[in-house]
Structures are given as C-alpha cells and as structure tokens.
Chain A
Amino acid sequence: MNVQLRDPKVIMKLSRLGSFHQSRLSFLRSFLNEFKDWDYKRDLFNLDKKGYGTAVYSFKKNNRVYSLVCFANKINDDERSDRVIATKWDAAFTLHDGIPLKKDIERLKNEVPKQEVGRLSYKELTLSRANKSVRVFNHVVESLSNGNQPDLDLLEKVGYLYRTTAVYGSGKFGLADRFRIKNREEINGPFRLEMMLVYLVRQFTFDQVNHVAKNRNPKSAIELDPKICKNLGIGNSTGLGMAPFIVNHPTLLNNWIFCRETALKKIRELKKVNFKDSNLFKECLRNSISNITSWNTESEYQLKKIKLLLKDVRKSINFIENEFNFQKDYPFNELYTWLEEETCEECIEYIVSIMMEPFGEIVEPLITQMSSDEEKYFNIPTDRTVGDLRNILEKKYSNILTINFNEKENYKKFWFISRNKEEPRLADRFEEEGSNLEQPLAIARDIKKLYNKISLSKKTLKLSKFLVDNSELRHVVRRAFINEKFPYSEIQDNTISENIIPIDMLRLKLSFFGALKFDPRSDKWLRICMFQGAPLPNELKDFDEQWVYKSHN
C-alpha cells in the first residue's frame, strides 16, 4: 500500500499547525537520546546561603565538553518580569563550548547577566535567563527546610521552579555561528544545544532549591524527592519573537514537517502491527489523558480546545478499545482515516504524535534529516520563465490565490520590528503607525501580488528579465522556487488577516521543541513547560523512552 503524504494545503494551515503536539521527533526528546551516554557532572557549585553565585554543569564524551555556566543573582520582586523587555533576571545562563577557564567565568559574569546588551564570544553556544516562580520556589524552600516535601497540588498547577524567557543561539549577541559547529555529529538535529541548556538549567533549579533550604535550616532540611523533581520541568514564556522564524527559514520548516509526515506515512503503510507495538500505542494514549487533565490554563481559547481534545481523545480510546481490531491489515491507516472523519484537528495531530511511540526504527533515522543547509537553496533559478513560476504558484499556492487582498480584513495586520527591543511585533495597520516599515512576512499577500503581476507578463519571459523591473517581488519569487522543491516550506494561510492567531505559529515551533501544556496568556504569547517528566541527569543512561506519557502530573 502506498499512502500519500498529507496535502500541504491542509497541513500547513495555521489552525492545523497550531494543533501540533510533541512527539518522538521533538528536539528535547532527541537531545536526551543523543546525550544519554555522555558523562554528566556538576563541576562547580559556588552559591551563598541565599542561593546566589555561580555554578557549572557539563556533559562530556571523549574530548568534547559542553558546560553550562549559571549565574544566580538577587533581584527585587518589582524587577522580576517575564517580558522580553526585562533587564534583570533571577538567573542567567550560557552554554560554553569546552571547559571554561577562570578568566572565561570572570568574563561571562560581566556579560551573561546583561543578556541582550552583553557580548558573548564564539566560545559560547547558547544564552538564556530565567525567573523563579516565586510562589512555588518559596514554598518548596519553606517545606524542605522544615523537613517536609512540598504540596504536590501546588507543584502540579505550575509544573516548574523557574521559567526561561528566551533561549538564544546561532550567532545572536556574538554567540558562535551555526557553521562553526554544524558538522559535529552530536548536534545533527535542530536546537540541540538550546535543549541542552534548558535541561541543565532544570537541574540547577533543583540543586539551588535544595541548597537554599539546607542553609536555611541545616539541621532539619531534607532534599526534594527525586520523583518530585522528575515531574517538574522548566517553564518558558514565549512571545512573537518565534513567529517570524518559521517564515524566515522555509527549508528548515519543511524538513521538520516533512519528517513528521514521512513518519506518519510509513506508519500508515505498515501492513501488520504486532501486539507489543499496538499495546504500547494504546498504553501511551490512555496514559496521555493525565497530560490533558492536568493541563492548566485560564485562556478561554485554549480551554475550549482542551475540552474538545479531551472529548475526542476519550472517544478515540473508546473506539480503539471496543471497536477496533489491530489484527487487520494496515491498522494505523484505518485508524487515521477514522480520526480524520470523527475527530477535531487537535485530536488528529495529538494521536498522530502518539502513533510514533512504538516505531523508533521509523522515527530515529528521520531525526538526522530535520536540519537544513539553507544556503543551498538561496539562489533564484533566473533562467526559468514566468510561465514556470506561474505554474508553481497555481499548483502550490492555489488556496492563497483565492484570498481577496482588496478587503480590509485580509490585510489589517502588519509585522514590524520594535525599535526598543529589536523584537518582532504585530499591529493593526489602520490604527498604528509604522506599516511603511513592514517586515516581509506577509507572504500570502505578496504571492498574490506576484501572481497578478506575472499574469500580465509573457510566459516565455526569463525571470532574469522579469526581476529587473519587479525587484519588490524578489523575496517571494525566491520562496516560490523553494516551495517547488520543499512542499511543506510555506504556511498556507494569511499571516496579516484580522483573524490571525499568532500563537498558532508559536505552538507549531514549540511542539517541535517538545513543549507540553501550552498556556496562552493572550493571542500573542504563551507559557509552556519543557522536560516535565523527563529523566534526571543521573538516570540518563537507562530511561524509559515514553517518559512523556508517564509523568504523574
């Protein structure tokens, strides 16, 4: 049986992309797999009684060492903000390439806490900062110092001791460019070092809370139960900064989605599925219910989605347990077809992720294909003709070409970079200033403009000549030819419409990171949790691959 890859015109709609969930392909899970046989060590833990100071954690294998350098600082409650415009944080971190020397730590101590206004060097790979969940952190310190474990209900509601507010890499603020490290085997997957930073930060938060509790009451303090630690992750607040990324990296976006779609296709093409595999799938699906019921948010938009998801996942479990037979040929294809007919987008994508759980042999080889050498596809094939371009647009962007951009609601928003913080923002072009400085993220509108323009040009005209007089459309000509080769490289939706929900773009990226429990705080930013339920560093050598579905929270 040959199952077709799913249609990009369906999958690349924002509502569908905003329904994606973590899977075995997610970067934090592939990071754990890659680094499970590395040696983990806490090299330095020089904190004062209140938990302020410096710490270093490392992963080492053969001659390669990656070191997380942590700086914990005192800040006042009124200085603590998760917004990207904040200037002080409870802790700041950088991942150093190798073992940091004393002079490196001194240099980093001056720069890392300053974050965006500091300068890093090619020896640093990623940079981040995090704030305490003060309520949870203080409660845990209080409990441990009195010899008690903390209130699990409170921990369950929040899910972490600290939340990061940005994780930077790839040359930002002087960090090492990707080209310097891209040939290292262990980071042959996107965002692997960003994941390492977050993972080690998680361990720092446990060590710090234990240290503060111990110093508060040395006689009666106990350590946080490792089982409780395991069910805590690292929070993250994510805003619009992530949204342009998926537009600006079309081949990378394609590779992420293409791998997911290829995994699904191969699973649907399995003629026979053995009992062990079908059972693991069913077990993960059943266990995953607790991930949904413990998903806390005040967002009405998300609450509605969660309610529908829970209803449809329960319906699917009921169907699978009582009506479905895994003995028949191509069972996952039949199940997928049923899901398409009977459940909502969020549930389809949720269960597609779980379908991957038993099939490491299908998923693992795809992980190495999720990066992209973007430079290779930058040149426009200018010896092609306007007719070629027109065919691509009609074939690949047919839904987009039906959007009427003369109607105000279809071009109401615009993307810009804020002068204050150099961060992307979205605004109403009829109410705010600045649309003349619009970023090139209105791809649907510009594709439509391009189509209108080439409809008036001779089909045989070479693009080298067309571009001489149509320079303003050059960026979308390039994209169209990328999309010709990479079917999942383009969001098949209008990113400037009145109804755009930007968090759909964030969720797509965060699902590939491996985030759980998306908690939208508005339509423009959300909180998530990473590594909740993940093995602790001392458990990495032998851990349960399906830990995501075995978290107790």
Chain B
Amino acid sequence: MKSLSEIETTSKRASRAAGFSWGVAEEVAKGIRLLELFGLPGIKNLNQYYKHINKKDFENLSNFKKNNKQNNLDLCPINLGVNFLDQITTLEPLKKITFKKIAYPMLFLPFLSRGSEVIGKKILFTFEKKNFLFNFNVNILSNFSKKEFPSTAKKGEVIFLENKDSFTEKDWKDLYRLSENTFVDETESLKHGAAGAGLTDND
C-alpha cells in the first residue's frame, strides 16, 4: 500500500512534469492525497488525465460567470479547480454556477471540498445525475457507486448551500424534550446561591 506521503510527493512531481507550475503542482498533490484518503480514485484519474494532456487541448477558465460556456474544448479540471478555489469568496454570491464539459471531473472535486471549508458552507456538485456533497473538507458524500468514474462531466452544476438544519423543528423539539429528562429541578435555596446571586442588576 502506498502511503499518503508517497501519493502526495509523486503527484506533485508528476504534475510539474505534466507542465504545471510548482505552486499548482502543490495544489494538485494536496487534492490527490485528499481523494485517496476519502477512498476516491485520485491517482487513477490524474494518471489518465496526464496521458491526454499533451495530445489534446484543454481550455482554461478563469473568468467565471453564472453560466459558463466555452468553445469546443473540454475544461482543464486543474486550472478550473485552482481558479475556482482562488475566487471562491467572490463566486459564492452567485449561488449556482454551471459549467459545460469538465474533463476528468474527479480532479475538480478536491478544490470544491477545500472551497467548502474556506467559505464555511456545504457545496453540492452535480453532473449527469451524480451528486457530490462537500462537507467543509471533512468528508464527501456521493450517490456515485460505479468503479469507473466518467472522463467528462457534460454539464456540471456547483451549488453553494446555505447553512441550515437538515431536520425539522419538530424533530429538534422532540429530541430536546427527551434531553430535558437529564435535568434536575432546582430548590429555592440553590437558586439564591447561583452565579450572580446577591448582586443587583444595576451594579
């Protein structure tokens, strides 16, 4: 078994060899480490992408809009990811951003995961009925279960989710009521000796 340290070092060197700057190579390496830690096929997808990178042109996107459409080329998932992460605080108000044709979308995922931590919000990424929910860079939830991950996301959607409860108010009240059974009624004499006792509220 390869250690995460080996995975990170080799991914960094390979990314540099594939033509990325050292700074971007560092970002990719952190991302592949994260994917492999979460049990996602980072090394495999990176390897496949780098086999194509010199044979085929990919488009770099840095000027983001709500709906992004490029020419015929697929988007480079690494440049897309780095620019997206760098600009995430200005992109968040857009609430939902769509992209056409992202090459090797697996490689875009770690940037979304880190972005979720940066803005303190969950991010949902969907393409072709596949959902990925990024929880503050702590984990990634997905309905994707096939072994082979698609080499292109034809239409990808990034949604910034508002921080809100995943349960109803009734669920909460029911649970809270149960938790109250651990409390003890306080006697009058105990109330008189509690914090702040003996002081006036205007002192």
Using a CB–CB cutoff of 8 Å, the interface residues on chain A facing chain B are 121-122, 170-179, 375, 378-380, 382-383, 417, 440, 462-464, 467-468, 471-478
Contact = CB atoms under 8 A, between A and B. Distances in A.
Contact of A171 (B4, B62, B86, B87): B4
B114 A474 contact: no
Contacts of B5: 170-172, 177-178
B21 A474 contact: yes
Given A171-B6, A382-B86, A478-B26, A472 B1 contact: no
Contacts of A121: 1
Q: Which 3 A/B pairs are nearest by Cβ-Cβ distance?
A: A474-B23, A171-B5, A171-B3
Contacts of B20: 471
Given A379-B85, A464-B86, 4 more contacts: A121-B1, A174-B1, A473-B21, A474-B26
Contacts of A467: 82, 86
17 contacts: A171-B5, A178-B5, A375-B30, A379-B85, A379-B114, A382-B89, A463-B86, A464-B83, A464-B87, A464-B90, A467-B86, A468-B86, A471-B23, A473-B21, A473-B23, A475-B21, A475-B22
B120 to A, nearest CB: 13
Interface string B1-27: 111111000000100000011111011
B118 interface: yes
Interface residues on B, range: 20 to 34
Contact of A474 (B3, B22, B62, B87): B22
Contacts of A380: 86
A404 B26 CA distance: 28
Contacts of B26: 378, 474-475, 478
B30 A378 contact: yes
Contacts of A174: 1-3, 6
A468 B83 contact: yes
B82 to A, nearest CB: 8
Contacts of A478: 23, 26
Contacts of A379: 85, 114, 118
A380 B30 CA distance: 13
Nearest to B22: A440
Contacts of B4: 171, 177, 179
A237 B3 CA distance: 26
A477 B3 contact: no
A192 to B, nearest CB: 17
Interface string B71-113: 0000000000011011101100000000000000000000000
Contact of A468 (B2, B6, B62, B118): B62
Nearest to B30: A378
A122 B87 contact: no
B81 to A, nearest CB: 13
B23 A477 contact: yes
A207 B115 CA distance: 55
Contacts of A462: 90
Contacts of A463: 86
Nearest to B91: A464
A462 B21 CA distance: 20
B58 to A, nearest CB: 15
Interface string B21-65: 111101100100000000000000000000000000000001000
B21 A471 contact: yes
A475 B13 CA distance: 14
A472 B21 contact: yes
B23 A176 contact: no
B6 to A, nearest CB: 6
A175 B3 contact: yes
Nearest to B7: A171
Contacts of A178: 5
A153 to B, nearest CB: 44
A179 B6 CA distance: 13
Contacts of B1: 121-122, 174
Contact of B24 (A179, A417, A471): A471
B101 to A, nearest CB: 20
Contacts of B24: 471, 474
A375 B4 CA distance: 13
B43 to A, nearest CB: 15
Interface string B109-128: 00000100010000000000
A263 B10 CA distance: 38
A477 B22 CA distance: 11
A475 B23 CA distance: 4
A178 B33 CA distance: 13
A150 B24 CA distance: 58
A179 B34 CA distance: 12
A383 B89 CA distance: 7
Nearest to B37: A179
B123 to A, nearest CB: 15
Contact of A172 (B6, B13, B27): B6
A391 B114 CA distance: 27
Contacts of B118: 379
B64 to A, nearest CB: 10
Contacts of B62: 468
Nearest to A439: B22
A115 to B, nearest CB: 15
